[in-house]
């Protein structure tokens, strides 16, 4: 045990004197958690402060223009900036091309009037039979269209989100206008029909007036709730998604200092000396693994503290971790062992520090991308979703998000823990076998 503890102590000493290595291990994941959480906080609008700026030009200045503006502002999905009434399509296009706005919406002049006429005509048509169709003016022109300009850099998801919001606003406005027109037209039409049927002596105004407010009343609504195992949960914040994701990413980055330590020992000659000492190679490797597992736990702890204490100070939600603390610890230790195993394997297979420092980070970034650290797995194409099932970072992230946001338990994350430990055992065994071959050819 003394030799094992001596090796752990030596590894920790070496690591804490490598300032660049410490920066990579602690500052990088911390910065990623803070920055990505803040960025996504705006995208997800959990703070209600959207960063999407919309240029809104109301040339209509009537009901529809005002309704669009009110509803877009109320949606909170975009930041509405009102442009001059005189602004035309060309001026709006230029403003977007300058990158000032992500979207531009122009409500054309006379839109409300044209739509009103159109709606009234539709309702009147409904009350007239084909024989007296001449009584309805069917020659009305189509109402002018609403024009939406996009910044070409705006991604498809955001574009679709804003278009959906606009469609919703249009539908609501249309319903309201139809309700108003209905309320105005129906009593007159009813009187006319009754007089036709009953004779001119039938008194007017017997048909009750209709309050146009009925059109605004919503009958159907969606209640969006998160399905957790223990019942319905609150919406997971960006912090809850990013803390486990980037903490795992940082943990797997230990492959660089860990693999690099083996390369340095080999190139510097200390490995040769170590190989002549009365110490089994398993103790030398286990000492490295345990030292770096400790570092991983420390990393994770630091990131958790950032999520719990720092992020709320920056305006985001506080990190909620669920209640399965023991299982969370088990997942983190399993992920740390998997990362250490990979680092050992990389260190014994690579022949130069450059190989470790190039291949290590690239492979981790790929595994992170596949594992859903950067983009959720459900948003990937089917083939990539299949491939993502083989990413150790994906296993770790699935388990942690399950515990953090879906009220997962030891039983629900057992497969991920098993995958991580199998990966750790496989890479460590392969690394140990190669290390022994390095000792005695």
Partner 1 sequence: MDPQLSPLLVARNLWKTYPSGADPALRGIDITVNAGEIFGLLGPNGAGKTTAISIMSSLLRPDAGSVTINGVDPFRFPARGKSLFGLVPQDIALYPTLTVVENFRYFGKLYGLKGRELDRRIRECLAVVGLEARADRRVETFSGGMKRRANLAVAILHDPKLIFLDEPTVGIDAQSRNMILEELIRLRAMPGRGMIYTTHYMEEAEQICSRVAIIDEGEIRITGTPAELVAQNDGCRNLGDLFLRLTGKRLRD
- Count CB-CB contacts under 10 A for residue 89: 13
Which C-beta is closer to partner 1: that of 7 or that of 102?
A: 7
Determine if 20 is a binding residue for partner 1 (CB under 8 A): no
Part of the chain binding partner 1 (CB under 8 A), chosen from 10-18, 151-159, 322-330, 412-420: 10-18
- CA dihedral over 200, 205, 207, 213, signed as positive or negative: positive
DSSP H helices, 17-106, are 19-22, 28-43, 63-75, 89-97
Residue 14 found at the interface with partner 1 (CB under 8 A): yes
Number of chain positions touching partner 1 (CB under 8 A):
25
Please identify which residue in 152, 200, 208, 278 interacts with partner 1, judged by CB under 8 A. Answer: 278
Contact residue for partner 1 among 35, 273, 315, 375 (CB under 8 A): 273
Residue 306 CA to residue 34 CA, distance in Å, equals: 8
**Minimum CB separation from partner 1 for residue 285, in Å?**
14
β-bridge pairing 226-228 and 231-233: antiparallel
User: Does position 270 bind partner 1 by CB under 8 A?
Assistant: yes
Q: Which of 10, 53, 124, 159 binds partner 1 (CB under 8 A)?
A: 10
Per the structure block, which two tokens stand in for 416? 């991920």
The C-alpha atoms of residue 304 and residue 113 are separated, in whole angstroms, by 58
12 part of the interface to partner 1, by CB under 8 A: no
User: Which listed range, 235-243, 273-281, 337-345, 368-376, lies at the site for partner 1 (CB under 8 A)?
Assistant: 273-281
Q: How far is the CB of 295 from partner 1 (least distance, A)?
A: 16
For position 440 contacting partner 1 by CB under 8 A, the verdict is: yes
Closest approach, Cβ 428 to partner 1, in A, equals 21
- CA nearest to 206, candidates 224, 227, 218, 192: 192
- Alpha carbon distance 247, 81 (integer Å): 38
Strand ordering across the sheet containing 147-150: 79-82, 53-58, 103-107, 147-150
Q: Which is nearer to partner 1, 10 or 53 (CB)?
A: 10
- Residue 128 binds partner 1, judged by CB under 8 A: no
Question: Exposed, middle or buried by CB within 10 Å (0-12, 13-18, 19+), for 338?
Answer: buried
Closest CA to 82 of 54, 49, 108: 54
Applying CB under 8 A, among 2, 156, 200, 326 the residue interacting with partner 1 is: 2
Contact residues: partner 1, CB under 8 A = 2-3, 6-7, 9-10, 13-14, 17-18, 268-270, 272-280, 439-441
């Amino acid at each position: 045990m003394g030799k094992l503890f001596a090796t752990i102590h030596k590894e920790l000493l070496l690591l804490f004197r490598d300032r660049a290595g410490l920066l990579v291990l602690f500052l990088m994941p911390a910065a990623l958690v803070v920055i990505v959480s803040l960025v996504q906080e705006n995208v997800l609008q959990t703070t209600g402060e959207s960063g999407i700026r919309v240029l809104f030009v109301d040339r209509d200045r009537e009901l529809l223009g005002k309704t669009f503006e009110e509803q877009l502002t109320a949606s909170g999905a975009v930041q509405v900036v009102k442009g001059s009434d005189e602004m035309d399509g060309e001026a709006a296009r230029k403003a977007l091309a300058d990158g000032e706005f992500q979207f531009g919406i122009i409500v054309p002049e006379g839109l409300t009037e044209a739509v009103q006429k159109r709606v009234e005509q539709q309702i009147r048509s409904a009350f007239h039979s084909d024989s007296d169709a001449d009584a309805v003016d069917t020659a009305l022109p189509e109402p002018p269209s609403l024009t939406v300009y996009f910044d070409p850099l705006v991604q498809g998801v955001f574009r679709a989100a804003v278009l959906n919001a606009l469609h919703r606003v249009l539908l609501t406005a249309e319903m309201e206008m139809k309700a108003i027109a209905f309320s105005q037209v129906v009593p007159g039409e009813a009187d006319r029909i009754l007089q036709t049927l009953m004779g001119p002596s039938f008194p007017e105004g017997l048909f009750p007036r209709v309050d146009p407010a009925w059109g605004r009343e919503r009958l159907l609504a969606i209640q969006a709730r998160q399905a957790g195992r223990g019942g319905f949960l609150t919406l997971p914040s960006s912090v809850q998604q990013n803390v486990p994701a980037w903490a795992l990413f940082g943990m797997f980055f230990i492959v660089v200092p860990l693999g690099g330590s083996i390369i340095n020992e080999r190139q510097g000659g200390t490995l040769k000396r170590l190989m002549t000492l009365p110490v089994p190679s398993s103790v030398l490797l286990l000492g490295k693994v345990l030292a770096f597992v400790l570092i991983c736990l420390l990393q994770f702890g630091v990131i958790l503290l950032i999520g719990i204490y720092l992020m709320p100070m920056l305006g985001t939600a506080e990190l909620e971790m669920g209640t399965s603390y023991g299982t969370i610890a088990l997942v983190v230790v399993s992920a740390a062992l998997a990362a250490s195993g990979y680092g050992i394997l990389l260190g014994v297979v690579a022949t130069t520090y450059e190989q470790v420092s190039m291949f290590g980070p690239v492979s981790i970034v790929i595994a992170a991308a596949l594992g859903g650290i950067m983009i959720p797995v459900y948003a990937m194409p089917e083939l990539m979703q299949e491939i993502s099932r083989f990413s150790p970072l994906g296993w770790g992230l699935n388990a942690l998000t399950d515990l953090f946001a879906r009220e997962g338990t030891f039983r629900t994350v057992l497969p991920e823990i098993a995958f991580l430990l199998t990966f750790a055992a496989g890479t460590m065994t392969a690394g140990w076998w190669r290390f022994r071959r390095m000792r005695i050819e």
